[in-house]
Structure 1
Amino acid sequence: MTTPNVETDVSNASGWRFKLGGCIFGFTFALWLVIPLAASLGTPAARMAALTGTIFVANKVLQLASIAVMGKAGFQQLKAIVFGHAKRLAPSKTVGPIRHAIGLVMFCLPLVWAMLGPYADQFWTGLRSNIWQLQVLGDLLLIASFFVLGGDFWTKVRALFVRTA
């Protein structure tokens, strides 16, 4: 019984199998773009539901196929590439007082606006516009605040849900 050569596996990971598996893996995510395209073309709801289910199943099959094509070494390399970029996006552990204050404003402003907005319409009609772009901007502001507030913020939020913290 022979043991696999690690150097050969690593060299195969950067070859045609890795590239083909990466293309298949990328295609699984691009396949989801067919749904909004079909919706914009006026596809009936029953066909949209069938299309969504078919894409869901095909997505899982194609992801498994891409892993099989890449092999273990290629999949490990793909994970290293993806999580290498994800680690750069992780929020810093501690932040300064100015960054913390800016993050808290970014965090609280969309929440307070969403909570008090419907009541503002009762007292001042027309103050709050229902433009979906402003609503998306508020959501993006809330998400960006998590990165501005840093990693310690998550520890503080988690402590709210732990009784003994």
Structure 2
Amino acid sequence: MAPPDSTANWRFVAGVSVLALAMVLPLLALLVPFLGLPVAQSALIAGALVAGAPEVLMLLAVALLGRQNFDRIVGAAKKFLFTTFFSTPVSRGRYYAGLAICLLSFIPLYVAGYVPSWMPADNGRIAILAAADLAFIFSFFVMGGEFWEKFRRLFVWEGKV
């Protein structure tokens, strides 16, 4: 039996690390407003973290891993997400908890729009509104695959039900 190729092992570890970094970078954009930079610089840095750098890092990960390993890792991640959030039916309690999170996530938006004096100033307001947006997105995953199907049907005209 031949010894393992250290170059292939190094490339695999580096490729997985770059792939993980590409997935984390957009989350780091949420921290940019707290740096206290001017608005133009904050927008440029956040835009690069969300739209530019992850794509470049994905290409680098494909180059390091090779197309076959990259497709295998992405396929395993999609399979895990699908079986965890979409294919298994959720309990009534989990569904209603997700629905409550979804509805409660609108409260900070209405407070900021109609009674802005109740909201903290500057970065506190941004943090609260960003948390409300993330809670809204999270609620879709909590409600499970059956909710995704209900949501999809809102946008598809089928004639009769």
- Answering whether residue 123 of structure 2 is matched by residue 129 of structure 1, we say no
Structure 2 Cα separation of the partners of residues 105 and 118 of structure 1: 21
| TM-fit CA distance, 1:74 | 2.3
Structure 1 Cα separation of the partners of residues 79 and 152 of structure 2: 25
Shift in CA distance, 73/115, structure 1 to aligned 2, threshold 3 Å: same
TM-score by length of 1: 0.56
Q: Work out which of the residue numbers 136, 150, 161 in structure 1 matches 2:155.
A: 161
Counterpart AA for 1:105: A
Secondary structure at 1:163 match in 2: coil
State the structure with more CA Rg.
Answer: 1
Structure 2 Cα separation of the partners of residues 140 and 61 of structure 1: 25
| TM-fit CA distance, 1:30 | 6.7
Equivalences for residues 49-60 of structure 1 within 5 A = 49=44, 60=55
| TM-fit CA distance, 1:129 | 2.3
Counterpart AA for 1:136: A
Counterpart AA for 2:71: Q
Q: Deviations over 1:129-165 (max 9, x none)?
A: 2442433332233223212222111111222222225
- Answering whether residue 125 of structure 2 is matched by residue 99 of structure 1, we say no
What is the match of residue 145 of structure 2? 151
CA RMSD in angstroms comes to 4.6
Q: Deviations over 1:73-98 (max 9, x none)?
A: 32233324433543455245433333
- Answering whether residue 90 of structure 2 is matched by residue 108 of structure 1, we say no
Q: Work out which of the residue numbers 74, 78, 81 in structure 2 matches 1:83.
A: 78
Q: Note the residue ranges of structure 1 that are not aligned, 5 or more in a row.
A: 1-10
Secondary structure at 2:156 match in 1: coil
User: Contact 1:91–1:151 at 8 Å: present in 2 too?
Assistant: yes
Shift in CA distance, 150/16, structure 1 to aligned 2, threshold 3 Å: same
| TM-fit CA distance, 1:16 | 3.2
What is the match of residue 3 of structure 1? none
Q: How many residues align?
A: 149
TM-score by length of 2: 0.57
Structure 1 Cα separation of the partners of residues 101 and 134 of structure 2: 10
Structure 2 Cα separation of the partners of residues 138 and 161 of structure 1: 24
| TM-fit CA distance, 1:62 | 4.9
Q: Deviations over 1:13-55 (max 9, x none)?
A: x733322333444455677769x78x94858957x859x77xx
Secondary structure at 1:20 match in 2: helix
